[in-house]
Amino acid sequence: MKDKVIGGCRIIRKIGEGGMGIVYEAEQLSLGRKVALKLLSSQFVKERDYEERFIREARSAARINHSNVVQIYNTGKEDNNLYLVMEYVDGETLQKKILDNPLISPKEMALIMKSIAEALFQAEKRKIVHRDMKPSNIMVTSAGVLKVMDFGLAKAIDTHSTLTGTGKLLGTPYYMSPEQINGADVDSRSDIYSTGVILYFMLTKKKPFKGDLYTVIQQHLNTSRPDPKDLNPDTPDFLRRIYFKMTKVKPEDRFQSFKDVVKELDKNLLRISPNQKKKADTDLGTIITVLPQKKKEASAPEKSKEASSPSIKKMFYVLSGVFFVFIIAVILFALFSKKSPKVVSSVPAVEESNQVKDKQVKKIAKKGSVNLHGALLVKDDALNGKVFFKGKCTTCGNVQQKTRESLRPALFKKRLNVSKCDKCGKKDVIVIENLK
């Protein structure tokens, strides 16, 4: 087949073979790009239902445009060969990736599941069911990007094809949903079941059921789902819960949409503790270098408590700081709140009539004292009717006593100002205390 041209593509080499056909690496001559060319197996070419199913694969997958879905470029029939031209994926299957590596870290498993769920949600929105989800139908590129492929058994819900009504079992029994086994109508919840089985395979590297075809089918229909913790005690609780919900026997008991699966994964990705994370958060190409954790993952309430503890500590420190500042303020207030003598700065002298002075002198004589804007003038008979004040010069700082007669008229204004200083001669002596 090498160098043979089919559908405008020159075959380079064979890269795989499945139940429905053979896949070749090829070159699309019109665009000069590398593609994957899938040819329907020759034994099926003459069978009308297989031919229709092959064409349906192309039409179904071509309706899905998403980074996690292998893109379909062209389809047709040439020289009695049904062909499918699709995106070439440089990588390996998820099945090989899982089996060739140690256990995957919880975060990487959650990211793988999210990529698969987002791809199948795009199919779900277009009423397309894959019907054959399994690790070997998922590619991981060299860059770590997941690609869901082989919608060969996909069935558009809005079509009227009855190909599955012939009694033939389409799909892989190990990953098949109970309703698909029973030949009932299926929707995206069937793919949710199959994806849940893929999760079990990631957690344990084993399929949940084993035995011959009949035994496996009966286990899907009648047996309770095995607990992945039995084989992998380090299975995270949140992935275990998701697995059990995805693989419920009744479709109505599962997640009802892949959108719900994505939401649940996102919610738990935020809760994964730092010791379960790898530096390559989204690089699936570096998958799986984490050893099993020694400690079991905390339950949801414990995780919530751990997540909230930093904010509680921060609030405690803030309140402690505020309380400390308050105590310091109270102490400082107590130390400096004692009433100190009032010191009034000097102002230019303002002439005032003798009538005003005489009025103040009469008040002193009558009451014995008078409050002049904060300075208490006191009459003292022992001092021959003279009123003494202690004054301080604002220029040289000299403290001295002054009599009533020596006060200037400005004494009776808002700011008290007395005569000039005995020491420096400046007229900057102000009243700081009255003397009885």
For the domain that residue 61 is a member of, what is the CATH number?
Answer: 3.30.200.20
Size (the chain), residues: 436
Q: In this structure, how many other beta carbons lie within 10 angstroms of the beta carbon of residue 347? A: 13
- In a domain, residue 110? The reply is yes
Residue 13: the pLDDT is: 95
Residues that are catalytic: 132
Domain assignment present for residue 337? The answer is no
What's residue 206's pLDDT? 93
Burial call 400-418: b when 16+ CB within 10 Å, e when fewer: eebebebbbebbbbebbbb
Residue of 103, 133, 90, 148 whose CA lies nearest to 287: 103
What pLDDT sits at residue 171?
A: 59
pLDDT for res 52: 75
Q: CA 370, CA 112: separation in Å to the nearest integer?
A: 92
In contact, 246 and 254? CB cutoff 8 Å: yes
Query: Which range (88-102, 167-181, 377-391) has the least confidence?
Result: 377-391
362 and 238 assigned to the same domain: no
Identity of the residue numbered 30: S
Side chain identity at 399, as an amino acid letter? V
**How many domains, in total, are found in the chain?**
3
Confidence of residue 364 (pLDDT cuts 50, 70, 90): low
Q: How far is CA 161 from CA 119, 308, 409, in A?
A: 24, 54, 117
Segments forming the whole domain that contains residue 62: 5-87
Give Cβ neighbours of residue 189 (< 8 Å, ≥ 6 apart). Answer: 177, 251, 254, 255, 256
Query: Which pLDDT value is given to residue 353?
Result: 39
Task: Judge whether residue 170 has pLDDT over 70.
Answer: no
User: How many other CB atoms are there within 10 angstroms of residue 248's CB atom?
Assistant: 17
Single residue among 285, 303, 321 that ends a domain in this structure:
303
Q: Which of 267, 286, 303 is the last residue of a domain?
A: 303
Residue type, 124: E
Residue 181 belongs to a domain: yes
pLDDT in tens, 182-213: 888 899 999 999 999 999 999 999 999 988 88
How far, in Å, CA of 408 to CA of 52, rounded?
121
pLDDT tens figures, 42-77 = 666 666 667 777 777 677 778 888 999 999 998 888
Question: Are 408 and 417 a contacting pair, CB within 8 Å?
Answer: yes
